[in-house]
Chains A and B, each alone.
Chain A
Amino acid sequence: MERRAFLNLGGAALGSLLLPPFGRAIAAEDLVKPVDTRFKKMLADTALQAATQAGASYCDVRVGRYLNQFITTRDLNIENVTNTESAGVGVRVIANGAYGFAATNDMTPDGVAGAARQAVAIARANAKLQAEPVQLAPTPGVGEVAWATPFKKDWRLVPIKEKAELLIAGNKAGMEGGASFMQSLLFQVNQQKYFASTDGSYIDQDLHRLWVPFFATAVDKKSGKFRSRSGLSTPVGMGYEYLDGRKEDKFLAAGGVTTLYRNSYDLVEDARAAGKQAKQKLTAKSVQPGKYDLVLSPEHLWLTIHESVGHPTELDRVLGYEANYAGTSFATLDKWQSKKFKYGSDLVNIVADKTTPGSLGAVGYDDEGVKCKRWDIIKDGVLVNYQATRDQAHIIGENQSHGCSYADSWSSVQFQRMPNVSLQAGKKPLTPDQMIKDVKKGIYIVGDGSFSIDQQRYNFQFGGQLYYEIKDGKITQPLEDVAYQANTQEFWNACTALCDERDWRMGGSFFDGKGQPSQVSIVSHGAATTRFNGINVINTARKIG
C-alpha cells in the first residue's frame, strides 16, 4: 500500500486510502465522449512501426484516458468535488533482449513515434547491464476486440447534487445514530485503455470502479475517550447501481449483530449503525489477552488474505525484485517445487481469478494483452502456483502468462500485480451462526482495521471494526482493544471451518501499493466466514501521560 500519501490524510480511519494522482480536470459534459477507436489505432500503429524500425524485437503500446471524480464530506458539509482527466501514451519495447519504456502526453503521430524511439534507446542502454535476455511467454494476437465492465448506472451521468445528498444523508444518519463526527468520501473511476502490440492485438477496454468509504467517530469528552467505526462497504468493479441498497442484497451478520451487504450497499443504513456502534465501543469490555478461536467475516478476512497470501505468492517478490521496498517472500520456489508445502489446512483452497464479475481486478485482458483467467494458488492446503506475467511464466515451467500485468497510468510501466485472490467457500452446508455453535471461547470479528505484516509475510497483526465475544457457542457481548498476531503458515493451518457458498462475498483494496517508483493497483478478495482455532489475541489498550 502506498505509504507517504497515507499519512498525509492523517489518522487511522483513513488508513487504507491513497489519493490517486490528479490529472487534467474536466467539465461534466466532456466525461462521456469516448475517444475514437480509429484515432487510438492510428497512434498505436505509429508507435509500433517506429519501434520496430528503430530495432525493437517486440513493442506494446497503451493509449490511456483516465477519468476520476472524488467527493469528500465532513459532517453535514461537502468539502470538495474534483474531476480529473489524464490522457497519454506509454510505449514498452524489447531491444537487444532488454526492456525500454517511454511515455508521452503528446498524442500526435510525431509525439508517440518519438516516445517509441526513446523506449528503444533506453532498452539498448539497459541491455549493457542485462544478465539474461527478456523471455516472453507466447500470447496469440487477438485482432481488434473490446471489453467493458458490465454496469447498469454510469457514475458519470449521476448529478453531483444527488451524490452529495447521499453522502450528507449518510453523515446525518451516523450522527443521529450516536457519532460525534462523520467523514465520507466517494471515489469514482473510469479507465479507457487501448492496448496494441506487435503480436497483432488491438484491445479496447472501458473499466468502471467505485468506492464509498466513511468513518464514524464517537467522543466521550468526560472520559476523554474516542472510538471509530468504518463503513462496511467494499470497493467494486461495477457502476453506481452498487449504491442502490437493494433489499435482497442485505442480510444479518452472525447473531444479528449488524447488517451486511452483497452486490449493493445501503450507505445511510450502515452509517446509522456505525454511529451507534462507535458509541457502543466507548463502553465495550476490554479483551482478556490469550488464545481464542477466531470467527472472521469476509469483510475482515479479505485483508488477511491480501497480505498473507496475495502478496507472498507474487512471483516478482519471490524472485527478489521487490527486495528493496515491499520485501521478498517466504513462499520460495523450493517450497513450491516440493509439491507438498502445507500453506494451510486441507480446507484451504485459494484461487486467483481476474474474471469474477463485480470484482476490482476483473478485466478482459491484462496490460500485456493476455486474456484473463482463473487458476489455483493453494489446493487442499498445498502451495501449487504463483502469479506470473509473460516474462516470468517460463520460470515456473508454464508456456503462457497468468495475465497479471498492470500499470496504474499510461505514464507508468506495467509490471506484475496481484489478481483477485480468493478463499473458496466450504463444500458442506454451514452458516456463520452454525459455525459459532461449535466455539467454546472465541471472538467474532467484522470489518477490517489495523494491519501490518513483515517483509517476508510471516508475522502479522490485524485489528478489525467490530469484535464480539463468543462463549459456549453464543455471541455474548461486544469487545474492544482486540488484535490478533500469528505466523502466516500456522494461521492458515489453524483453519478449521468454512461457511458455504451462500456466505461468500468480496472485500478489496482500491489503492494497493508496490514498486519503485510506487504504483497503486486495485484488487478484490472473496471469502465466506471462516474459523481459525487457537489464535493469539493481544489487548491493545494503552495509557499515556
Chain B
Amino acid sequence: MKKLNQEDTKRITDKVLSLSKADECTVTIDGGRTGNIRYARNAVSTAGLVENTSLAVSVAFGKQQGTAMINEFDDKSLEKAVRRAEDLARLAPENPEFMPTPSGAAFKASATFSDKTDAIDPEFRAQVAAYSIEACRKNKLVAAGFFTDESAFQAIANSRGVFGHQQRTSVDFTCTVRTEDGRGSGWVRRDASDVSKFDAREAADVAIEKALRSVEAKALEPGRYTVILEPAATADLLAYMFGAFDARSADEGRSFLARKGGGNRLGDKLFDEQVNVWADPWHPDVPVLPWDSQTMLPREKMDLIKGGKIAALQYSPFWAKKQGARAVGQPGNIVMAGGSKSTAELIANTKKGVLVTRTWYIRMVDPQSVLLTGLTRDGTFYIENGKIKHPIKNFRFNESPVTMLNNIDELGRPEILAGDETPLQLLIPAMRVRDFNFTSLSDAV
C-alpha cells in the first residue's frame, strides 16, 4: 500500500471516528517501509524490505476498553475494526483507573523526515555492506554488520478533536570486525534521522581500527578504575535509569527515586552538578514525534536532571490526576550536556584508566539502587599517561548509573546514537568517570 499522506490519514481517521458508537474512540495509523541488509563472514547473509500499514482502534464504554488492530483500509474493514474493538470493550471488565484521552491538543511539528533517507534503495544498502566487507578482506579481517533504514509516518486522532500526522526517517548501522584468528574484535554504531549525516566508510574504519588494536589483550585485575566510557558504553545504563523516572513507582516506594518515609525525591541532588539532562522533541540532532502515541499528549522540552538535581518525573494521566500534578507526553529522546572534547582528548588528559568502547548484556540486579551488571566488549584498552598503552581483556561490571553520574571527572562531546535496549533517541557525551566497579574478568573476545 502506498505511503499515506496527511489528507489520506485525516479522511481515514474521520471515517473511523464517525463509525464508532462508543463514549470515546481513538485511532492510530502507523505505516511505512523498513529496508535492511545483514552480513557476516564477509558475505551478505540476508537482505529484505518490509512494507506495512496498520490501524489501531481503541474504544471505551465508560471504563470498559477494547482495542482492535487491522491492516486493511477499505470501508468494510474500517467498520469491522470498530465493531471488533467495541465487542472487546463490552467483554472487558471495568478498569477503575481508566482515563480518557486529551481534547484539543495541538502539536508543533518536529523535523523528523529526510528526503535522502526516504530515497535509500537496495544498491545503497549493498554499498554500505560492501565498504566494510571489502576493507576487511584487504586487511585479513572478518566483518559482520547490519544496516537498516526506515521511512514511516504516524497519524493519531480521537473523538475529542485531537489529530496529528507526521513523517519520520531513520538509519541504524552496527558493524563488528574480528581478526581471522579471533583474538581481536572492534565495533561501531551510527544512528541518524538524515542519512547524509552517516558515513559508512568512516564507520567501518572505526571498527577495523579497534579490531586491529585489540589483539593480544592483557589481563588487568578487576577493581575500581577511572574509565573513559564512549557514548555507546553508557547508552543502555542511562536508559535503565531513566526508565525508573516514573512518579507513581517513586511515590509508591518501589523505585530508587522513592523517599524514605514516603513521597518521591523530586528536587533532590542525586548526581554530580555537571549532569544536565533534558528531553526535546524538536532537537535538530535527535528529533522525535511531538506527541506520545500512548497517551496522545504533546511532548515538551523539559529538564530531567538539572545541575545534578532531579528536575522532573513522568506522570501517567491517572497518577497526575490523583496527585494533582500535570501529565505531559513521555519523552522520546534524551539529551545530555557535554563538553567540546573528543574521546581522544579525554584520553590525552588521563593518567591511568580504562577505555570502554561498548557495554553488553546489561541487566538490573537491584532496582533499589539501580545496580546493573554487564560486560565490556569489542575494544577495551588500558590508558597510561594520556595514551592507549595496550588492549585489555573484557570485564564484568556491577555498577549503578546513579553512582556513575556522581563520579564524573570530565564530559566529552555528545554523539547521536540509539541504545541496544531502548527506543529512546540519545545524544550523550563520552564520560571520564572515577571508581567504576569491575568485578571479574571475561575471556571473551
Contact = CB atoms under 8 A, between A and B. Distances in A.
Interface of A: 3-4, 6-8, 10-12, 15, 22-28, 74, 77-84, 99, 101, 105, 122, 125-126, 129-131, 160-161, 164, 180-181, 217, 219-228, 319-325, 327-328, 330, 411, 413, 450-459, 461, 463, 481, 483, 485, 487, 516-517, 536, 538, 540-545
B398 interface: yes
A279 to B, nearest CB: 13
Contacts of B360: 327, 454-455
A155 B145 CA distance: 41
A56 B66 CA distance: 45
27 contacts: A4-B423, A7-B240, A7-B422, A10-B244, A15-B364, A25-B67, A25-B81, A25-B88, A28-B87, A77-B97, A78-B95, A129-B126, A131-B43, A222-B261, A319-B41, A320-B178, A321-B41, A322-B144, A324-B145, A324-B175, A411-B50, A452-B362, A452-B396, A454-B394, A459-B440, A517-B34, A542-B366
Contacts of B182: 328
B9 to A, nearest CB: 19
Nearest to B175: A324
Contacts of B66: 81
B390 interface: no
A125 B122 contact: yes
A47 to B, nearest CB: 17
B254 A78 contact: no
A74 B38 CA distance: 40
A443 B144 CA distance: 42
B294 to A, nearest CB: 10
Interface string B424-445: 0000000000000001111111
B206 to A, nearest CB: 14
Interface of B: 34, 36, 38, 40-48, 50, 56, 65-71, 81, 84-85, 87-88, 91-97, 122, 126, 142, 144-146, 148, 174-176, 178, 182, 187, 236, 239-240, 243-244, 246, 249, 252-254, 256, 258-262, 269-270, 360-371, 373-375, 377, 394, 396, 398, 400, 402-403, 406, 419-423, 439-445
B365 A483 contact: yes
Contacts of B256: 544
A455 B87 CA distance: 47
Given A223-B260, A487-B443, A540-B371, 8 more contacts: A79-B97, A81-B88, A160-B92, A323-B142, A325-B174, A454-B375, A459-B440, A516-B36
B376 to A, nearest CB: 9
A544 B372 CA distance: 13
Contacts of B144: 320-324
Nearest to A83: B88
Given A84-B69, A131-B43, A454-B375, A160 B365 contact: no
Nearest to B133: A129
A430 B273 CA distance: 59
B364 A542 contact: no
B361 A224 contact: no
A130 B43 contact: yes
B424 to A, nearest CB: 9
A324 B423 contact: no
A10 to B, nearest CB: 5
A456 B376 CA distance: 12
Most chain B C-beta atoms within 10 Å of own C-beta, residue among A25, A26, A28, A220: A25
B420 A4 contact: yes
A217 B249 CA distance: 11
Residue of B67, B93, B239 with most partner-chain A CB within 10 A: B93
Contact of A542 (B246, B258, B371, B423): B371
B41 A131 contact: yes
Contacts of A321: 40-41, 45, 144
Contact of A455 (B70, B85, B377): B377
Given A4-B420, A129-B44, A455-B377, A517 B67 contact: no
A540 B40 contact: no
Given A321-B40, A454-B396, A516-B146, A180 B96 contact: no
Given A81-B92, A542-B403, A461 B142 contact: no
Nearest to B40: A321
A320 B40 contact: yes
Contact of A461 (B41, B69, B92, B373): B373
A544 B437 CA distance: 14
Contacts of A540: 365-366, 371, 398
A542 B404 CA distance: 13
Contacts of B370: 544
Contacts of B34: 517
Nearest to B48: A101
B277 to A, nearest CB: 17
Nearest to A98: B44
Nearest to A487: B443
A325 B146 contact: yes
A8 B423 contact: yes
Given A25-B85, A78-B93, A180 B444 contact: no
A237 B439 CA distance: 39
B38, B252, B442 pick with most chain A CB within 10 angstroms: B442
B61 to A, nearest CB: 14
Contacts of A221: 253, 260-262
Given A323-B178, A454-B377, A483-B365, A122 B444 contact: no
